[in-house]
Amino acid sequence: MPAKPAKAEPVPPAPEPERPIDLGVLPELIGYHLRKAQLAVFQDFARAVGAGELTPGQYGALVVIDRNPGLSQTQLGQTLGIDRSTLVAVIDRLEARGLVERANAPKDRRSYALHVSNAGKVLLGELTRRVRAHEDYIAGDLDAAEKAALISSLRRIRRPLA
């Protein structure tokens, strides 16, 4: 019996050309561009420091604790603009990794004094080198004056909202 001829595979239809997406008012909004920039910066931060190392928020907390040994959780939260429940989770993660230590505050036993551990200092030193390289990369198209103007503009936007 002769073999059946192979059945031709159906040819998939050509994809429809993509139509441009209408973003409406979004391109005119500062908040839209800030969010898009934040997403891009956070994605590159993860690439630069290592996806499993620290989030930008954890890194920021570690920097502030390192520069202000004995800082209370309340002071840290106020400084970084982080609500209490979020801050406790950040400190819990840093403490679980052995990067931050909590001690009873000398003047208030209901409060904790935060310190960066020796392991935290080592990691912070390494990550700070990577974060500086990340910062240079994301600001690569900006000269020093443009970078300063951008930071100044962002502070001015934030000031009335604080």
User: What is the fold, at CATH topology level, of the domain defined by 52-161?
Assistant: Arc Repressor Mutant, subunit A (1.10.10)
Q: For the whole model, what pTM was predicted?
A: 0.81
pLDDT of residue 2: 57
pLDDT tens string 14-55: 778 788 999 999 999 999 999 999 999 999 999 999 877 899
Q: Is the Cβ–Cβ distance between 65 and 116 less than 8 Å?
A: yes
As a whole number, the mean pLDDT across the chain is 90
Note every long-range contact of 49-54, with CB atoms under 8 Å and residues 24 or more positions apart, other chains counting.
49/127, 49/130, 49/131, 49/134, 50/130, 53/123, 53/127, 54/123, 54/127
Angstrom distance (rounded) from CA 48 to CA 135: 9
Give me the residue spans of the domains in the chain: 52-161
Low-confidence ranges of the chain (pLDDT < 70): 1-8
